[in-house]
Amino acid sequence: MELLSYEFAQRALIGALLIGVLAPLVGIFLVQRRLALLGDGVGHIAITGVGLALLMSWSPLPAALLVAVFGALFIEVLRDRSRVAADVAIAVVFYGGLALGVLLVSLAPGGASTKLNTFLFGSLSTVSMSDLWVLGAMTLLIILVITFWGRQLFVAGLDSEVAMVQRIPVRVLGVVLSVMAAATVVVGMRVVGLLLVSGIMVLPVAAASQFGKSFSSTLGWAVLVGVVCAVGGLLLSFQVDVPPGPSIILGALVVFILAVSWRLVRHLQGARA
């Protein structure tokens, strides 16, 4: 743990903590709407943003954020205003984003492919101080939105028609959720990586859903699982010198398998009794 005395490691740790809290907080509203793969689609189109930044020598974070927000809104419009189903809309953005991103990186000056790898699977050394301020501000903003409109987001996700009758701005909230998902993807880009960030949005929620009996208790458990897996996975990656993204996601996967097994055992015990 000597590594933690280095500033880059401390910055990575703070980044992991932020995404550990934020990802399940946004992810639970996506899972509730059966949009678990939205983060995946947005993560892939953010690769286009990173590719564009590498090609034009821009800062990757704002470029990725801009393109990710565009991609998330595009999915929302396709889903809501056309006859394209949600999973197909996500797939369109997923493949289009990945293809365009790889194309732009291949056109970028030498070394861009190696840099891209750090964005795809996360990196311990790429979280800069300015990144951390941006990530912290986005996290705070999202937490404020959920504090004030969390109940409306919950009702709209539970039953959109009843929510409309109750004059809840369902469409606006859909857009807000899409933008929050895009921002979360970008917050997680540095530590977890664009290809895996959706995992930390979905797996802690899927695990917590196995033992939660209410939406609020599931949310609490999901954030706990998210923080433990993000910080634990990062510390593990310090120890064994692997990218942090895979170790964080594999940690969340282990928790998910344990939760499903626990529920299965309880179900079998209940059936025997």
Q: Which residues bind another protein (CB under 8 A)?
A: 28, 31-32, 34, 36, 149, 151-152, 154-155, 158-169, 205, 209, 212-218
Least spacing, CB of residue 163 vs another protein, in Å: 8
Q: For 78-136, what is the HEC assignment?
A: HHHHCCCCHHHHHHHHHHHHHHHHHHHHHHCCCCHHHHHHHHHHCCCCCCCHHHHHHHH
**CB 173 within 8 Å of CB 152:** yes
Q: How far is the CB of 166 from another protein (least distance, A)?
A: 5
Q: Provide, rounded to whole angstroms, the least separation between the CB of residue 216 and another protein.
A: 7
CB of 178 to another protein, least distance (A): 18
Check if the beta carbon of residue 190 is closer than 8 Å to that of residue 243. Answer: no
**Closer residue to another protein, CB minimum distance, 20 or 212:** 212
Q: Which is nearer to another protein, 58 or 151 (CB)?
A: 151
Please say which residue, 144 or 162, places its beta carbon nearer to another protein.
162
Which residue in this structure is represented by tokens 């857009």?
A: 175
Nearer to another protein, 198 or 209 (CB): 209
- The rounded distance, in Å, linking the Cα atoms of 147 and 150 is 6
Give the dihedral of Cα atoms 129, 130, 135, 137; nearest 10 deg. 120
